[in-house]
Amino acid sequence: MKSLKEILEIDQVFNLIQKHAQTGYAKKMIQELEMFSYRGELEEELLYTQEAVSYLYKYQSLSIYPLNNLLDSLALIEKGASVELEFFYQVSRLLENASVLKRETMIDNEFPLLKGLLERLILIPTLKKKIDVTLAPDLTISSEASFKLSSIRKAILSEEQVQSVIMNRLVQKYGAYLNDERIALKDQTKVLAIKASYKGKVDGVVVAVSASQQTVFIEPNEIIASNNKIYRLKQEENEEISRIIKELLDEIKRNFDSLYLDHYLIARLDFLMAKAQYAKEYDAVVGKVSEEPIISLKGARHPLLDQKNVVKNSFELYDRKILLISGPNAGGKTVALKTIGLFVYLHQCGLPLPCDEPPLISFFKEIFVDIGDHQSLLDNLSTFSGHIENIRLITEQVDEDSLVILDELGTGTSPLDGEALAIGVINFLIEKGCFAIISSHYEGLKNYSLENQAILPSSMIFDEEKLLPTYHLRLGTCGKSYGIEVASRLGLNHQIIENAKHWLNEAKNNSKDLLLDELVSKIEETEKLKDQLLSEKNQLDTALQETEQKQRALFKEQQRIKDKAQEEIETLVAEAAEKIEQIFEELKDKETIKTHEIISSRRRLQALSEQEETKPIVHEFQIDDYVAYEDLAIRGRIIRIKNDDCYVLTDEGKSMWIPKSSLVLCRPKSKEKKQYVNSDFTNIKMVPLELNIIGYHIEEGLEAVSKYIDDAVVAHYKQVRIIHGSGSGKLRAAVQDYLKHHLHVLSYRLGGLNEGGVGATVVILK
């Protein structure tokens, strides 16, 4: 008899998830998934899964490397066995991946479970460094692994070069006796290929003879000593390599617990992200475990069917725990049964389900399934006998925490006996209080479902005009089998069809059958009207979406016009400011204009300009946009965007994540405004207490610093601040080097906690 996994094709779904996994251990985890046995464990796993899905949609997947499953190799090492050098490479990759993932602990607190796993990762830099030094790129032991190994290999190379010189000389000496002027190699020994008739002409040891007996391979006496030396050196090399490998294995043994933990944690994270990738691919959602008995699957889509053409169905079981599905052959009843069974199983493994809304499902201890032909030649069982034997086993184990799925209950015997047995089984399951999904063609069973309040009747819809199944499930009604209609469509003799219809009409001689047919017809009319209304609603929704798109396009065009107008205004303002400055220059020597009036006018102009700069502009933020966070008086440039947050590099050289909703677009102060402008009206009030040179080239920045320090000295300042940002540190180093040699600088230091940190230098003047 097939297992539950085989019947519901669970392993095929696991394969869909497994293809997203990067690590061998995570793939093993997926393949060995089983239903959780405890509600608390399942609820916790669903929380992890939901967090992984949310993380994937917000930040994309974690950086997980393709890694082998190292459990078997670690177990071998623990027992004292050796491993292939590939293992060390995989350990290095594992440790590197742990280091990369460890940096992900900076993720926000929206993902506490993932953050908790990441924080548990253990970094072992000494082991990784040792492996990287020991292992060469071609997965051999590197000469850098030890001084002794390096010396041995240099000695071997030197001796081989000596050999080459000797052998080249011997080739010239015995050239007339050679069958091949090239130096041959036999068993890692350099030899000369001598014609057999001249073998006595060469002093040495015959190492081999060709198959034709025409050539002998002789190791000349002149290099025997050299070969022996190389042989001894290679023995020493192998011994040193063995020592290095043992030392590396000992280091791994000392870090066993940490390696096991990292190996598990990375695989666990990989497993969670594989589930999230599957959820994204199949538009699946994570369900919840219900305290009350319920199976709620809205818009369920079987993942093994073509997702573009699969028909969605909803299954809702609350107070009525028995769902009876009727309808035509090949109408989708078995697929519906398998979908429910599969989804309950996957949910209880902590996996997302392809549904329109998050499923709500009770916790089940067991799932029992009877689907398919149970005929067995080996066990001498007929289809009916196998069917009954399976039901017997189910009824012996079922309880209120079970889900039972029965396809074509009571089939394989006479209709009357089958109906009676089916009703008996259903009543037994009702008394047990379990959930049961049952399919049947029996008219008596359909009538019984309409009379029994514990049973929810349903049917697969059949298109009577096209004589084709629709695969849609309709709850609350029984369906016809449409056997005669389908037979007619398949070309059965017309006379036979007419006789069958006549007999069927005669058989429906009781009011119950007539009322049932009338009820089904009215429900079908209602459903058609419902479908028509839904279609009209969809058309209205489409029209509304088109209108919204046009509104958005209009808004963008308005914004473009505003931006263009703003640019023109800025140009006019700049031209006006330039003319005003010229006027100031012309009037500053005139006695009729006082200096403080000029300064006051200039300040008002500057204040007006700054007020204009922070004016909010409706904008879709982009990289390099200059923004202001007015609540904290922060201004800076966007260097990274993630969903609803922007990573801002402030004018003080700090960087931080700020929600888009808190930012407004503004125009940065021009470099002319950032640097101090020297003029004849310089006084204490006109010299700022800080100079911002972020974005300057080194030469440009030093020139601005030189002018600023001179003005600050004239203004009798004792302390000023130069804001240069953190960046690569080159601008900071250049500034501090300049300050070191300035005559008027007493000392300088990096900014404190509220002074810009490493992005600023505080200068103490003499």
Whole-angstrom CA distances from 411 to 66, 408, 440, 535 are: 51, 6, 8, 39
pLDDT score of 638? 85
Closest among 76, 192, 87, 179 to 135, alpha carbons compared: 87
Closest Cα partner for 349 from 17, 687, 697? 17
Residue 681 is predicted with a pLDDT of 38
Nearest to 445 by CA among 521, 333, 526: 333
Its pTM stands at 0.65
- The full set of domain ranges for the chain reads 4-124+255-281, 147-236, 289-482, 549-665, 671-765
CA angle 39, 45, 47 (to 5 degrees): 105
Assign domain 549-665 to a CATH class: mainly beta
- pLDDT of amino acid 434: 96
Class for domain 147-236, per CATH? mainly alpha
Q: Which parts of the chain have pLDDT scores under 70?
A: 1, 106-107, 181, 373-382, 464-465, 467, 479-486, 490, 501, 504-525, 527-528, 548, 551-552, 555, 558-559, 577, 580-619, 631, 653-654, 669-686
Distances (CA, A) of 548 to 205, 292, 544, 618: 94, 42, 6, 18
The CA distance from 510 to 69, in Å, is 68
Task: Identify the pLDDT of residue 65.
Answer: 94
Is residue 333 within 8 Å of residue 460, measured between CB atoms?
yes
Q: What is the pLDDT of residue 378?
A: 45
Please give the C-alpha separations between residue 429 and each of 397, 434, 442, 443, in angstroms, as whole numbers. 11, 6, 18, 20
Architecture field, domain 289-482: 3-Layer(aba) Sandwich (3.40)
Instruction: For residue 451, count other CB atoms closer than 10 A to its CB.
Output: 8
Q: Which two tokens stand for residue 489?
A: 């469509």
The CATH number of 671-765 is 3.30.1370.110
Maximum CA pair distance of the chain?
124
Separation of alpha carbons 726 and 649, rounded Å: 10
The kind and range of the H/E element at 33 are none
pLDDT recorded at residue 606:
56
4-124+255-281 and 147-236 share one fold: yes
Strand residue runs (E) in 210-345:
215-220, 288-290, 295-300, 313-317, 322-326
One of 1.10.760, 1.10.1160, 3.30.2220, 1.10.1420 is the CATH number of 4-124+255-281, namely 1.10.1420
